[in-house]
Each structure stands twice: as structure tokens, then as C-alpha cells.
Chains A and B, each alone.
Chain A
Amino acid sequence: MAAAGSRMDLRRALADALVGGFVAAALAFPMLGFRLEDSSTGLSLGLRMGWVAAAAAVVFAGRLALTLLAGTRRPRSGPLERLGERFAGTRHWAGWAMIGLAAVLPFLPFADRNLVDKATMVLIYVMLGWGLNIVVGLAGLLDLGFVAFYAVGAYSYAILSETFGLSFWVCLPLAGLFAAGFGLALGFPVLRLRGDYLAIVTLGFGEIIRVILQNWVDVTNGPNGISGIDRPTLFGLSFSAMAPEGQPTFADFFGIDYSAEHRVTFLYFIILAMALLTNLFTLRIRRLPVGRAWEALREDEIACRSLGLNPTTVKLSAFATGAMFAGFAGSFFATRQGFISPESFTFIESAVILAIVVLGGMGSQIGVVLAALLLVGLPEWFRELQQYRMLAFGGAMVLIMLWRPSGLLASRSPTISLGAAK
């Protein structure tokens, strides 16, 4: 009986793999099968059926292996699953370890300027992810235009510092406030929308902001962007080689030789501190009535109303808070790059930030860090892969969907517990 059953399984698996192979061949034929050849007489079309055959063979073998393995594999014990479960137990410890590693990263022997620079980039996205996590993960409001607030923050700082000569540290809170204001402005018209409709409107809002930045040349300098944005100082000590108007530079003050790495390290620590503050804020606000109201709103809006929660204020506060952190991150982005243009704030940025939140597991703080490393860090490090980057990206997404459909670390711990009762 068992032998007959397994023979049936094998036959079914073979048939399934054959179908997969055919589909692969059909897809590969137009995509891989043709090749433009540059010959002396001009361009000609060549065939490379070997590639098509190889693609079909790979899919056939892979599909067969997957089906046969799936029969033996118990559900809920995929490698990622196990990793996630093991990690969940040590999450608290892992969080502190990550913070410790981040704090000493620039002083590690292998840390060069390049690494610190990339880590800064990852941290910007971690911070954006944590900001969006408030809106999407906690309040459950799908926001596809988050980059708009990032842009508002960046341009607020750039314009304020160009026009009024204000320093980064003065502009940072102002940029956050402006972005929060835009969050409220977006929040009002979309109060009645949920789910897909909300996502579409926020997507439109993100595009509107970008188009305004591109066309309001008098204020934003249009597509040329704003350059020469002021760098941040450490209590008035600048990090440039030559300080203007006799101000001391960081290197002068401490009597060390000037090095461009000082500024890179300094910027890294600013964004690290800002990101950690965002995290601290989120952890804290989750335990406050507002945070619980956000989560309750995500769970059931009608029940919220029946308990006396005003959905208007709950939604607006979530939008404004998330936007504020995007504004902070934006003004940091501006001061780090020294140059911003509307091109930095396209829809793909919103998509990446949202992907970080969803991939990390909605509402999970450490998940956001892992996802940001995966989505921003890895592509930075593997630039040599060139055009295969997007292929690997898509492949990783498919794997995650298969093994961890609710995100890398999707588990929620209650914000309050009745410890004594246990």
C-alpha cells in the first residue's frame, strides 16, 4: 500500500514538475531565447535555445525537489520558521546586543568610511521604518505616501537653513513639526477611508508633494534641487577642514588632525541617536492610552467607537506622529547629503519603507531593523551584482511570503499584563 502510494506521489510530482518546466520554457523563450548580435553587417537576431533549455531544466528539477520534499517536511518547521521562533525567545537580549554593536561599529578595526556611510543609510531607513510602523503596524492605516513627509522634512531644513541661516539643531524639531502638520493635513480628508482606498489616496498625496517640489521653482529650485545645505555642528564645532569666520573646527578644538571620517562618524551617531529615540518613543507610547487606542483602531474601528474612543483624533494622532519621525529623518537626510532634489523622494522610496515594515512583521521593532538590513543594507553591499539585484530582491520576497507570510518577526507582546494572576 505504502509503495503504491509513494509511486502515485512520484507520478504526480513528475507531472507537476513537467508542467512547471513547460511554463518555464514558454516564459524563457521570449525572454532568454533571443539575442541581438552585433555583426559586421549590422544587428541581427540570434537564438540561444541552450539558455531556454537550462531554465526549463532548472525549474523542472527545482519543482520536483520541492514537491518531494514538501511531502516529508512537517508544516511550521521551515528553517526560517525555526530561526524566527528561536529568535523570538531571545529578542530582548538581541535588541541590546544590536544597540551595543551599533554603538561601537565606527571604532571596530574593519570599519572604514564606506561601511559607516552605508550603516548611516541603513539607519535612516530603520528610523523611517519605525516611523511608518506607528501608522501601518500599530494603527493599521496603510500609507503608501510616507515619503512625502520625509520630503517635507528634508525641504523644511534645506529651505530654513538657506533662507534664515538656522542651524541643523534648530531646524530639526521645526522640520518634525512641519511634517506632522502635513500629516494632519493628509489625515483630515482621508478620515473616512480604510484599506485599499486609503492606500490609493496616500499614494496620490505622495506624488502631489513630489510634483509640487518639482514645479515650485521659486521656493524649491525645481528639479535642480537645493545644494550646499549646511552640515550639522557639535555644540558649534564644525566638521569642515577650514572653519569660516574664525570658528573653531572639531579637529582644532581637540587638537587632532583633520579627517573627513570625523564627520561621517558624527553623522552616524546622530542618526543612531535619532533612531533609538524613535524606538524608545514607540515602545513607550504603545503602553499609553494613545498607543493602545491605535492598536484598538487597527483591530476594530466600530468597537472603538462603542467604547468612547474618537476615531478622528486617534487616526490623526497616528498620522501626525508617524509623519513627525519621517520629518526628522528627512532633515537628517538633507544635512547628510548636502544636496536634495525631488528625485530622492519618488514612490519607490515609499514602497521600500513599506516593504521594510511588512517584511519585518507589522508592529515588530526588531523586525524593522532586520528588514532594513536586508532591503537596504544587502543591495548596498552587493552592488557588484548589478542587474541581478532586483532578481535577488524579488526572490527573497517570494521566499519570505512562502515561509513567513506575516513577516520575519511577527509576534506581539501585550503592553500590560496581570503578572500576579499567572
Chain B
Amino acid sequence: MTAPLLDVEHLTMRFGGLFAVNDLSFSAARGAITAVIGPNGAGKTTLFNCITGFYKPQVGRLTLRHPSRGEMLLERLPDHRITSRAGVARTFQNIRLFPRMSVLENLIVAQHTVLMRASGYSLAGLLGLARYRDAEAAAVDKARHWLDKVELTRHADDEAGSLPYGSQRRLEIARAMCTDPVLLCLDEPAAGLNPRESAELNTLLTGIRDEHGIGLLLIEHDMSVVMGISDHVVVLDYGRKIAEGTPAQVRADPAVIRAYLGEEEDEPLPPEVAQDLKGSGHA
């Protein structure tokens, strides 16, 4: 049993008197999808912002074990270094593409760190040296690979902002993958997708897990995605972890049901929820 990819220990993030995340500990493994679920306001996005360096937590330790670069403490790195050095990439709940740049450019910007070094911090690039041209060709190849993966090759030269919503979601994932991450954090990737699109998303995410062997950390409300593809589920409520385990374990956990549906347990589940819970069992 190797050490997990990411260890979150006693993470606490306070805004004034409000504990958005309170003494949270869990691990995410390499080659596995870890889902973080919980009702609205449970602190899921705050957790993501701590992991990716947008917030600095008051208490706690975030240890990332990079396969080639060793152990790093994420809470001590500035946000851009967390991506470029520690290899943690993320997507956003409200999509953040570069809307007026083309789809391909979005993917090339994601490879900035590599290209910057290859262009000799622009000097070699300004002079048009071959070293930079090769690096750029390699970057385009990688971008093309991911465009094929998310089926956007036809739209490579279109403005990213002009794509339909579902394609923008896929592009954002492709862009994050172009940074060569070891941990990919997805903030509600299935939000606003129709059932067919979210089934495609499942295939994409399990594909990334199996082919690249990286860890995925997922915030999601869509239970068909969570129950269908995650290997490990962490349930948050009011910033605290209330349950953890495989999808099946979590689904049966009374604390989880209480958090989602309230205290009144003798009331029957609303039919669509019951169906959701049942239907995702065999997915």
C-alpha cells in the first residue's frame, strides 16, 4: 500500500466567525476518483480553494506526494506554483475559460510553464530559434490529443466563448489536463449537463483515471456521476466530515441521509430522490 497522493489533515478555514471547513481530514489516492459531496454551503468549494491555493487555511496541513518531485506542502505554495510545481490542476464551478481566445489557444496557454522555459523566457522565441518551434509543435500535439479526447477538434480555431455550455465544460477539463497534473480537482463538472453529456463526462473522467493514473478530486451534486464513477466518497456538512467510504457505504449511511433530507426519517423519500438513489446503484 503506497502513501496516498494527497493528505488533508485537520484543515480549518474560517471566515470571521464562520467555520467554512472545520477540522477536516481525508486522503485522495493516485489512480482513483475521490468525490466530495454535501449539501449547499457545506464547504466543498472552500476546500477546493484551499487545496489549489486560492485560500490559505488557518489550520491544517495539505501534503501532496508528487511521483517525481517528492513531497510538497500545498498550504505553503502560492496558487500558481501549486499548478506549475506541485501538479494540481482545477476547473471552476462557473466555467473560467479565456472566452475571446480560440479553443486551441486556451490549451496552449495551459502549457505556459513548459513553453516559457523552451522559449528561453521569450528571447529564443523572439529570434525564432528552432528549439522554441519544436516545443510549440509538441504543445500543439498535446493540445490536439486532448481536443480529440473531448471531441472538440473541429472547433479548435473557434472562440472558446462561442462554444455551447457542455463543450466549454469539456474544454476546461482538457485545459486543466494540458498542465500535466498529478491531481485534477473538478468543481461540479456535471452542472448544467444533460443526461447524455454527463454520461460522456463519466467516460472521460474514468478514462483519465485509468490511462493517466492520476488522482481526481470531484465536487458533484449529480448523484449519477458521483455514484457511478467515484471510488471513494467524502461527505461534508457544515464544514465537517460526516461520512466517508465507498459509494454504497455512503448511500446507506444514516448521517448522510439525515444531512440531505433533514431529521424527519419516518417521512418517505421524495420519489425522484428514491429513484435516483436506486437507479445509480447499478450504474
Name A residues whose Cβ lies closer than 8 Å to a Cβ of B.
281, 284-285, 287-290, 292-293, 295-296, 299-300, 302-311, 412, 414-418, 421-422
Contact = CB atoms under 8 A, between A and B. Distances in A.
B163 interface: no
Contact of B98 (A284, A289, A300, A421): A300
Interface of B: 52, 54, 78-81, 83-85, 89-90, 92, 96-102, 104-105, 108-110, 112-113, 115-116, 119, 121-122, 125-126, 132, 136, 140, 143-144, 147, 153-154, 156-157, 175-176, 179
Contacts of B122: 285, 288-290
B119 A418 contact: no
Given A305-B79, A307-B109, A307-B112, A296 B140 contact: no
Given A307-B109, A417-B102, A289 B126 contact: no
Nearest to B109: A296
Contacts of A414: 101-102, 104-105, 157
A293 B112 contact: yes
The prevalent SS among residues of B at the interface is helix
A303 B156 contact: no
A122 B101 CA distance: 31
A303 B54 CA distance: 11
19 contacts: A284-B125, A285-B122, A288-B119, A292-B108, A296-B98, A299-B98, A299-B99, A303-B92, A304-B109, A305-B79, A306-B52, A306-B89, A308-B80, A308-B83, A309-B80, A414-B102, A416-B105, A418-B143, A421-B153
Nearest to B128: A284
Given A300-B98, A308-B83, A288 B125 contact: yes
A295 B54 CA distance: 21
Given A306-B52, A422-B157, 8 more contacts: A289-B115, A292-B109, A299-B97, A307-B83, A307-B175, A415-B105, A418-B140, A418-B156
A415 B89 CA distance: 24
A280 to B, nearest CB: 10
A303 B105 CA distance: 14
Nearest to B126: A284
Contacts of A422: 157
Nearest to A301: B96
B157 A308 contact: no
